[in-house]
A and B are shown apart, each in its own frame.
Chain A
């Protein structure tokens, strides 16, 4: 319960500061950054395990680690987008909404009951829709928010219908009691399909991914980063619990579903990423393809599956946030979002070019970077089932993805441009955030104890 208390405390503090004082954005931003850093560090101490409220809320060491990953992501967002945040008129509201969503995600990870799960899922998506509309005067921003709220409301309707069928067939909504009562009757399989559809909407797995690119493009870039890293990470964490614990008896049914969706997701995500010109849409489709790889690891239904997914999301936080940060500072200072405008970036801005290159190498999975180890463990975990057709498709998709990541890197480093993006001055917090991301991309893969530590948490 401690991490939730800390977040709730910060939310109330920000509310009081917003209402009661006339603090300048600069000061407030540094205060929030310090608070979030304290919050991240506090995540490692005084952790208890067990359950509360008659099983509504459960926690264990793995969940604590997952929450720390999300805390770290939020802290990095507050650093990396400080240029944009300082100029924003409503900065305290941005953090209040973001932290409320984070609070929802914490409860979602810890939920031990379908009611708690549903409530916290809504708490984690409704504020994000409001955040997507943060550039109030921009048309695309409100369009993105509209698409996000309608698709999330529709998906929660489907989720609820699935939950009601599960309640009807088993008579319970507790995660601990459901597995014993599942017998694989057609109605229960239908309920599972409805539930999985809702997860697929939130994770943007392929037949349900249509909102993703539009929302990512229209929303302010800090919100896009939050949506693609933190929201997705939290949903992937709870999907582990749902598939491995709650629906464990229906393993045969969900394995084929996950495999099929994973193949389609990787292929469609990659093919659409090939033709994107806008960097935010490009990163949106690349993140869809990454979710396909997460599903490869998830399909294994083993301890290795859990640890590889958690490890991959840790790496994904760093690499995707670094890529979004570079896109963010360029869009903030020059208004350019097209990959064509990035030509010759290296001549004027070598530092952010290297950050972008590292991030994209890590997303593509090229050896010295952490992304390689993340993908390696995911695919090894998936291969433990012995379905080599599936693994071959995944490996081939890695090759396709390499092509479009390298296309951006070629534009940055090799293409000539007479009017490249001018020299960009970075704020100290942004620079600090980028250095943290770059160091983590290089080190997380090489420090093998991190993976072992995650594996040791799963008991």
Chain B
């Protein structure tokens, strides 16, 4: 059996990134859009850890960065969900198509 190398991990993380971007653009449900952003952030985490392990094993910057990314992602999700709940109270829906009072 083949050991997974840097390229395999980068393939996974890049795929995850673009799945996240695709989801962000096509999904109409706010919570799903938030989940797509989490996918993007997690792909970045994989990237950092893979680079750290395979290319720069003596510089721990990548590991620290991924820890901070996780923390920030949690903070961002907390504020975003608070805003979405407030939006739900006024619109009775979390569909982005319904939040269109302002255009052009």
Contacts and interface: CB of A to CB of B under 8 A. Distances in A.
Interface of A: 114-115, 118-119, 122, 126, 129-130, 133, 136-140, 142-146, 149-150, 153-154, 156-158, 160-161, 163-165, 167-168, 171-173, 213-214, 217-218
Contacts of A145: 83, 86-87
B55 interface: yes
User: For chain B, which range describes its interface: under 10, 10 to 19, 20 to 34, or 35 or more residues?
Assistant: 35 or more
B80 A153 contact: yes
Interface string B63-104: 011001100100110011011101100110000100111111
B92 to A, nearest CB: 11
A42 B78 CA distance: 35
Contacts of B44: 157, 160-161, 163-164
Nearest to B58: A171
Nearest to A113: B61
Contact of B37 (A122, A137, A153, A214): A153
Nearest to B10: A168
- A145, A158, A217, most chain B CB atoms within 10 A: A145
A143 B61 CA distance: 37
Listed from nearest, the 8 A-B pairs whose CB atoms lie closest are A157-B40, A164-B47, A168-B51, A160-B44, A171-B56, A142-B87, A214-B102, A143-B99
Given A164-B44, A171-B59, A149 B72 contact: no
Contact of A118 (B34, B37, B68): B68
Contact of A142 (B20, B43, B79, B86): B86
Given A126-B76, A153-B76, 17 more contacts: A115-B61, A115-B64, A129-B79, A129-B83, A130-B79, A130-B83, A142-B90, A145-B87, A146-B80, A150-B33, A156-B72, A157-B41, A160-B40, A160-B69, A161-B47, A164-B51, A167-B62
Contacts of A214: 102-103
Interface string B31-47: 00110010011011001
A61 B76 CA distance: 33
Given A133-B83, A150-B33, A122 B91 contact: no
Given A142-B90, A168-B47, A157 B20 contact: yes
A126 B79 contact: yes
B47 A139 contact: no
- A114, A115, A150, most chain B CB atoms within 10 A: A150
Contacts of B76: 122, 126, 149, 153, 156
Contacts of A165: 47
Contacts of B83: 129-130, 133, 142, 145-146, 149
A440 to B, nearest CB: 32
B30 interface: yes
B101 A173 contact: no
Contact of A154 (B37, B59, B91): B37
A217 B102 contact: yes
B101 A139 contact: yes
A213 to B, nearest CB: 8
Contacts of B55: 168, 171
Nearest to B73: A153
Contacts of A160: 40-41, 44, 69
Contacts of B20: 157
